[in-house]
Structure 1
Amino acid sequence: MNTMSRDKSRGQSEVLGFVLILGITMIGLTTIIIFGGNALKDAQQQAQIEQAEQSFGVLDGRISRVALGASPVQTVDLGLNTGSSGATLKSRDTGWIRVTYVNTSTGSRSVVMNRTLGAIIYANDDTTLAYQGGGVWRHTDGGTIMVSPPEFHYHDGTLTFPLVTVTGGGPLTSSITVTQEGTQIQKYPNRNQQTNFTNPIPRDVKVKVTVDSTFYQGWGVYFEERTDGQVEFDHAKEQATIELTDPISKVGSALTLVGGSQLQIQDQAVLSSYDSSAASPTFGGTDGDIVSDSSVQIQNNVRIKGNITVGGQADISGMGNAGRIHGYLSYGAGSVSQSACDDHVDGACTKNASLGDKRSIDTRISNRIARIEESNNNEANPHITNGELNWTGTDNITLEAGDYYFNQSFQVQGSNSAPQNLTLDTTNGDIAIAVKDTNIQIQNHGNITVKGDGAVRFYNDKQIQIQGQSDVWVPGYDSPQLWMYCTSNCGIQLNSGSPRFVGVMYAPEAANGVQVQDHAEVYGGIVGGGQVQIQDDAHLHYDEVLSTTAVFPDRAPVIYMHVSVYRMTIKSE
């Protein structure tokens, strides 16, 4: 009896064990099916979205071909499954963009363009792709990112915006046909729309661009990356607004190098600062900073009363016993020994240099020169003939307020016994001097003096040479009164006999480099490029006033504007 009971119990346990194992197996299989199915679905959805991004890139290119007149019609098969997958594809008349022209003197506001953008929208679960305004955008619950950019370009004071809009609301199949609706609409410049819609834009005008769109965050980030304005987001209204600002603002250091190959500072050179706004400026301040995207080599008892930030390597191993950096040293490559830092740097030595983008001024300078060439005051001055200064019978010439153009030579040079003196008299207004295809040469006791409270601005596309005991002087060491701008093929030379220069030399990316040598004295600031040498007891005194002085105060942030509209019709057969 006992034996039979034990056998029966054992049989029941085996059945229960089998049922339990079967149950666990079924639960496992169900879990695999559920979660595996979800994972498979997610993978398929991701593949569909990636395919859609590629297809929208093709669509973007085809629409551009129609807009630019390369083809009257384009048909593209996006290859998207919008049926069983649950994804949808449609065209909607949604979103708008507005370009506003504001006169800061009168407060008047004019609308250059206010257009509905429209969009081609692909939706797949919580992800939306859209072609809108010439760009492709991807939107999820986390926000919007740009997949490909719209044709919105702001460079060196010129806004170019060929806006592409789309119409044809409703569901779409994977096969889309694009045609142009009418012809291009020119919005700016356009005298027919408003008489003052002309280029160049008046000085007292600012330009704002506002986008109202589901994809406004992507538009706003794009504006931030491609312009220098501050973007304002209105999340409640789904709007992004950019006020276009000048990408070139201030001179913030004694020496700034953009597009530099190497910076050498040696042989008792000194960098320091002063404040020209003081009644009696004192020298030797500690804001004589250096900012360069190149490497730097400092040697032979150099004194820098300021900070150094360089994008490349920093070699301070040969600074000598008297060499000192009275600030910090920040570099972007290589290493600096701790002993060298302890011996020569008052502040920290860190490998964390961060530099901004390059800002070429070539187009801006070329535009200035062209305008002065077209209209100037040369004929009003008897000492300007055939595009050059005429020193015959005199050692003293005065240029008064106005614009002057030189394309043969610009020379102020004399001798120890007979110096030549050029007075730039700004009593009645500013002076602009364009020097095209020839050097600015101030040599051998050639002297320039600024008179009055106005500003003098030189625009040059070749070389600036100040040599041989020459003197470029502004009373009170007021450097913002004198600017010498030069294009990227420029070279700057201050050497050969203790020349003095008061003002700002502004030539970013100057391919032919900068030389400040032979006891030269600079009061103001230098922005240059290429191979740079500061040596032989040269002194750079940074004018602290420049940190709040605009580089190009005489122009609006936007100088030229080209805005047009291309209307596309979208349909599926």
Structure 2
Amino acid sequence: MNGPDRAQSEVIGVVLLLGLTITAVGVTVALGSTALGDVQSSADVQRIEGAMTQVDSKASLVAHGGSTSQRIRLDPGRSADVRVDDEAGVMRIEVEAENETGGIETVTENVTLGAVVYERGDDRVAYQGGGVWRSNGDGSWMVSPPEFHYRGDTLTLPLVTIDGVDGRLGDDAVVTGTSKHPEGLFPSENVSNPLLGGNVTVTVESEYAEAWGRFFETRTRANVTQVSPTEVRVALRTETVHPTLSASVSALGTSRLEFGGINTLYADSYDSTGGSYPGKGNASDNAVLQTTSDFHLTAGGGGKTESIEIRGDLVAESFDTPKGQADKKLTITGEKRVDDSVGSADPVAGAIAERIERVRDQTLQSSGNFTTGFAHDDGTVRTIDEDTYVDGDVTVSDGSTLRIEDGATVHIGGKLNVSENGSDVVFDGSGGDVAVLVEDSFSMRDQSTLRAQGGSNSDLFVDGTVEIRDDAAITAATGTRFELYNTGDVEVTHQARIAADDDVTGNLWLYSSGGSIDFQGAPSDGIDVAGVVYAPTSEMTLTNNMTFKGSFTSGSFTFNDADLNLHYDESLATLQPFGGASVPVVSHLHVSRHRVTIEDD
């Protein structure tokens, strides 16, 4: 190759190299710019999420009366937009309620939610309905939750809605309250608490419906339906059928079943259809102790437990039983089974409220016999044999007897107190079912007795606390079914007895929606129960000595130096609380609208 050709090749090579270098630099700059832009965009969206969370916090503060106004720093940036859209999203709440004629009608409230919306390309972040939501071309999700509280028997929904002039907001905005007081939507003139079985449906129409739906699924045990990409519907369970009583002891709400506070526990089974409890030597091995959570043998390393003997199965989601402790102290003749299918607790507040309302609806103040409160203390027998309203407290003492018979319903406007040895209250169902409603507390002390007899059904409803102290007794005769329903705390002490004759435990039921149930027996020969205790959302404390025949269910158990004898009645395995009837779950509805205005500052 001659000189000019060689020189020309070198020039071409330099040009090509320079071109490749420029191209590479250009591509690198372009890619880097894109990546930098993506990083900047992501940072902006995260920053605006934080700003929207501040909108949530300050709007809530204003909406609930904590402040008259609040300023917010938004700073959306030049390439983004933050605006108020006071027409964005609708929540529709439909409640089936009983009208004055006894029929069912649907009451509907449509609430426009409004929104504060940040937009940058396909990314959107919005404050709507008291929550913060985000969406892009691939879907929507929740950033922070709205105030929606569904606790099984109560729905509380304080809706924060957005007013304001549609349009862009600048770097700063101000939140002010639209009204001094929230607008109550439910209960209303046509819907009162407690709800007794009416259906409740909540529908959200929103760009963020998918995220609303997932939120409902995590916060409720309800049926959630995605109607369309922009509409989701949640049907709250307003009625339920409680399961059969397949276990001696069921803890349905506790985070851990701690057995460290137990000194001794013995569990076996018998079948009352074949006679009363036959004693340990002739008992069966079909006891079941179950919890929806963890079983823990020692609490805080206490190790006070002497022995736990379960002639049957122990069922839990998991077990924490140190090997040394388990080998020495825990005996299980059946299965020690890991099972997470044990259902969590359905509340009973709605079912109890429904039954109490049935008595109130009889309006005995005007339709029945009317008497003032009285103290029956002369040692004689006083009989109520017709529907009666008692305006005040009733006290039975000094060996006196109060008989309620001939199918009478008695509504006591105050307390019912029974005390002193030999004092009795008799529910005699031989002439028809007997029912008593006590609007305040029910107390039994000393060696007083409440006796249900005569066949048929007898019910005692207490809209308050129940105390059964000392050596007091509640008993049900063979062939008579007695049920006690209460809404407050329960306290049973010393050597109290709550027992069906012949240990036929299906004849005596105690239902409670109270927060606390306290059984505190004597150190020896303590409390004796032969029946069903069903309080699936209550906290139950067992102290000292006691014997349970039948089945008892609670949300949680605490044991204090407990010595327990548990005898499961196998005849209960086919029985359901409330007679297997479908009973209300949602009993109280509290929905309100809190308006706020968000404007450019």
TM range, smaller chain: 0.7 to 0.9
CA distance in 2, matches of 1:247, 1:57: 37
Match in the other structure for 2:518? 491
Give how far 1:93 is off. Answer: 0.8
* Pair 1:44-2:40 in alignment: yes
Give how far 1:294 is off. Answer: 5.2
Alignment of 1:33-182 (within 5 A): 33-81=29-77, 83=78, 85-87=79-81, 89-103=83-97, 108-155=104-151, 157-168=153-164, 170-174=166-170, 175-182=172-179
Alignment of 1:201-280 (within 5 A): 201=195, 203-236=196-229, 238-245=231-238, 253-257=247-251, 258=254, 262-263=258-259, 269-271=266-268
Q: Per-residue displacement from partner, 1:321-348 (whole Å, max 9, x unpaired)?
A: 9933522443xxxxxxxxxxxxxxxxxx
8 Å contact kept, 1:516–1:538: no
CA distance in 1, matches of 2:89, 2:10: 70
CA distance in 2, matches of 1:87, 1:393: 81
Give the TM-score normalised by the residue count of structure 2. 0.72
8 Å contact kept, 1:254–1:543: no
CA distance in 1, matches of 2:66, 2:264: 61
AA of the residue aligned to 1:108: I
Match in the other structure for 2:321? 314
| Corresponding pairs, count | 529
* Pair 1:523-2:550 in alignment: yes
Secondary structure (helix, strand or coil) at the match of 2:211 reads helix
* Pair 1:565-2:593 in alignment: yes
Distance 1:370 1:186, change over 3 A: same
Secondary structure (helix, strand or coil) at the match of 2:445 reads strand
Give how far 1:63 is off. Answer: 2.3
Give how far 1:161 is off. Answer: 2.0
* Pair 1:427-2:423 in alignment: no
Q: Per-residue displacement from partner, 1:70-112 (whole Å, max 9, x unpaired)?
A: 444444331111x3x2445342512211111114897734224
Query: Which structure carries more strand by proportion?
Result: 2
CA distance in 1, matches of 2:599, 2:81: 18
CA distance in 2, matches of 1:537, 1:523: 11
- Structure 2's unaligned 5+ residue stretches are 278-282, 299-304, 366-388, 403-413, 429-433
Alignment of 1:345-424 (within 5 A): 383=401, 387-390=416-419, 397-398=426-427, 400-404=434-438, 407=441, 409-411=443-445, 413=447, 422-423=451-452
From 439, 444, 450, the equivalent of 2:467 is 439
Distance 1:305 1:421, change over 3 A: same
CA distance in 1, matches of 2:459, 2:538: 27
AA of the residue aligned to 2:437: D
Secondary structure (helix, strand or coil) at the match of 1:94 reads coil
Q: Per-residue displacement from partner, 1:437-476 (whole Å, max 9, x unpaired)?
A: x7323738x45116645633245525223737x4601778
230-239 vs 279-288, which moves further: 279-288
CA distance in 2, matches of 1:96, 1:236: 14
Distance 1:290 1:535, change over 3 A: farther
Distance 1:549 1:361, change over 3 A: closer
CA distance in 2, matches of 1:233, 1:281: 54
CA distance in 1, matches of 2:596, 2:475: 59
Give how far 1:503 is off. Answer: 0.8
8 Å contact kept, 2:420–2:445: no
CA distance in 1, matches of 2:330, 2:600: 78
Secondary structure (helix, strand or coil) at the match of 1:39 reads helix
CA distance in 2, matches of 1:19, 1:254: 91
Secondary structure (helix, strand or coil) at the match of 1:456 reads strand
Alignment of 1:273-312 (within 5 A): 284=284, 286=286, 288-291=288-291, 292-293=293-294, 295-296=296-297, 300=307, 302-309=309-316
- Structure 1's unaligned 5+ residue stretches are 331-351, 415-419
CA distance in 1, matches of 2:491, 2:69: 52
255-264 vs 163-172, which moves further: 255-264
Q: Per-residue displacement from partner, 1:336-369 (whole Å, max 9, x unpaired)?
A: xxxxxxxxxxxxxxxx979988999899999999
Distance 1:552 1:169, change over 3 A: farther
AA of the residue aligned to 2:34: N
CA distance in 1, matches of 2:507, 2:126: 49
AA of the residue aligned to 2:143: V
Note the aligned Cα RMSD (angstroms). Answer: 4.7
Give the TM-score normalised by the residue count of structure 1. 0.75
Distance 1:199 1:449, change over 3 A: same
* Pair 1:190-2:188 in alignment: yes
Secondary structure (helix, strand or coil) at the match of 1:205 reads coil
258-267 vs 217-226, which moves further: 258-267
CA distance in 2, matches of 1:15, 1:421: 115
8 Å contact kept, 2:308–2:330: yes
Q: Per-residue displacement from partner, 1:412-452 (whole Å, max 9, x unpaired)?
A: 737xxxxx56226783663224563x7323738x4511664
From 503, 514, 529, the equivalent of 2:532 is 503
8 Å contact kept, 2:349–2:487: no
CA distance in 1, matches of 2:322, 2:427: 47
Identity of aligned residues (%): 22
Secondary structure (helix, strand or coil) at the match of 1:288 reads strand
AA of the residue aligned to 1:314: T
Distance 1:409 1:219, change over 3 A: same
AA of the residue aligned to 1:186: G
CA distance in 2, matches of 1:210, 1:539: 48
8 Å contact kept, 2:203–2:231: no
